[in-house]
Structure 1
Amino acid sequence: MSLEVTGKIVQVMDEVNGTSARGNWKKQEFVIETAEQYPKKICLSVWGDKVEALKQFKPGANVTASINLESREFNGRWYTDVRAWRLQAAVEGAEGGQFEAHPQEFGQENNENYTATEADDLPF
């Protein structure tokens, strides 16, 4: 699953480093605030070389993050991770949390082949 969210960076947490069986790793979390009627704050994380990509943005910068959502269970509790895999400067006028696709308005079906006739006496 791949989604995009746009917002203003409001906080960048400290970088966390560690070592696992696969080698060294680094992670950094940051919080963005969407620009909707009711703004929401979302904590995202970046891993590995994406930590360097995050450093080019300062708090107050508008960004668009391509994200993946993943949940995992630990000791009977579920934890959800919002991982950003691409960060880019937001396009002016983009609203936070909005998808690019524009669904067709309800009742605006494309009926090019339909022609209403007076003999159309179907009851429904």
Structure 2
Amino acid sequence: MAYELTGKIKLIQDPKTFDSGFTKREMVVIVEDGKYPQEINLEFVQDKTALLDDLQPGQEVTVTFDIRGREYNGRYFNNLQGWKVALQGSNSEEPPPPSAQDYPSPSDFDDDIPF
């Protein structure tokens, strides 16, 4: 099940690659929650770490993530694993629709047909 949160980026850590080849990268997003803002840590793994390459602290983003849980030595741990990031105030995920300038005009075509 996917969840979303919207907030301002506080920090983006450098990618960490482990001996096994596993790579992860973490980002902290500040979410306004009434009187007490929440600092939410999200992790991105493997190829999803590249989603953070062009982001900067201070930007407003919406992050789509899954909740992952596991047990280790009788203790239980949860992670928020991000897989999609969209900048707020921009439509960065979808290209703009084509306009009339994107198509050639009839005068751009050569009327001399070779066959």
* TM-score between both structures, scaled by the size of structure 2: 0.71
Structure 1 residue identity aligned to 2:32: A
Q: Give the drift of 1:91.
A: 4.0
Q: Give the secondary-structure state (helix, strand or coil) at the position aligned to 1:49.
A: helix
Q: Give the drift of 1:49.
A: 1.8
State the Cα deviation string for residues 39-83 of structure 1 (Å, max 9, x = none).
111000001222111111101111111010011110111110100
In the alignment, which residue of structure 2 is the partner of 1:36?
33
Q: Which runs of 5+ in 2 are unaligned?
A: 91-115
Percentage of identical aligned residues:
31
Q: Which of 24, 38, 47 pairs up with 2:45?
A: 47
In structure 2, C-alpha distance between the alignment counterparts of 1:84 and 1:4, rounded to whole Å:
9
In the alignment, which residue of structure 1 is the partner of 2:23?
26
* TM-score between both structures, scaled by the size of structure 1: 0.66
Q: Which of 43, 68, 73 pairs up with 2:66?
A: 68
The structure whose residues are more often helix, as a share, is 2
Write out the 4+ residue segments of structure 1 that deviate beyond 6 Å after TM superposition.
none
In the alignment, which residue of structure 2 is the partner of 1:9?
9
Ranked by relative contact order (alpha carbons within 8 Å, sequence separation 6 or more), the top structure is 1
In structure 2, C-alpha distance between the alignment counterparts of 1:54 and 1:60, rounded to whole Å:
13
Structure 1 residue identity aligned to 2:86: Q
